[in-house]
Amino acid sequence: MDALYRAEIIEHYKHPHHYGHLENPDIVFHDVNTSCGDELTMEFKIEDGKIADVRFTGKGCAISQASASMLTDEIIGMSVEEAEKLDKDFILDMLGIDVGPTRLKCALLSLKVLKGGLYGLGNVNKTEEDKSAE
């Protein structure tokens, strides 16, 4: 089963979903995983309290970029309130593979950027888990 998830990660890395830019995004947030150099920027359109659209750009390892691609699939149409509640376990379950301590920040960069972008709306309260992903 692990091989199936690994194949999905490679597919998202090679052919990312929602990659690129939005015209006139409501929110733009960028962050870097300083431990390995992964970079990620997300652009959001928010309508009626929901994430109407999202795009990302970045560079880095397969796990960080695939995580961003997979997360964007999940959050389009999600309410901001629901997105605020996403956590580390959601990302790790979504990836479906064991992620060691050295790759954890890679896997969680997309969540960090999502939450950082939503902070701009003044809605998200930073949890200890969010702080540990930094």
User: pLDDT by residue (tens digit) across 13-35?
Assistant: 999 999 999 999 999 999 999 88
Mean pLDDT of the chain: 88
Q: What is the pLDDT of residue 124?
A: 42
Q: Of 43, 45, 46, 39, which Cα lies nearest the Cα of 56?
A: 43
**How many angstroms separate the CA atoms of 95 and 58, rounded?**
18
Mean pLDDT of 95-113: 91
Contact, 61 vs 107, CB < 8 A?
A: no
Strand pairing report for 50-59 and 38-47? antiparallel
Residue 107 is predicted with a pLDDT of 94
**What is the CB neighbour count within 10 angstroms for residue 83?**
23
Q: What's the pLDDT tens digit per position in 41-79?
A: 999 999 999 999 999 999 999 999 999 999 999 999 999
Residue 126 in this model has a pLDDT that exceeds 70: no
Count other Cβ atoms within 10 Å, centred on residue 123. Answer: 12
3-class DSSP state for residue 79?
A: strand
Q: What percent of the chain has pLDDT over 70?
A: 85
Nearest to 77 by CA among 29, 9, 18: 18
Distance CA 122, CA 99 (A): 31
Write down all domains in the chain, each with its CATH number in brackets.
2-122 (3.90.1010.10)
DSSP 8-state symbol, 126: P
pLDDT band at residue 92 using 50, 70 and 90 as cut-offs = very high
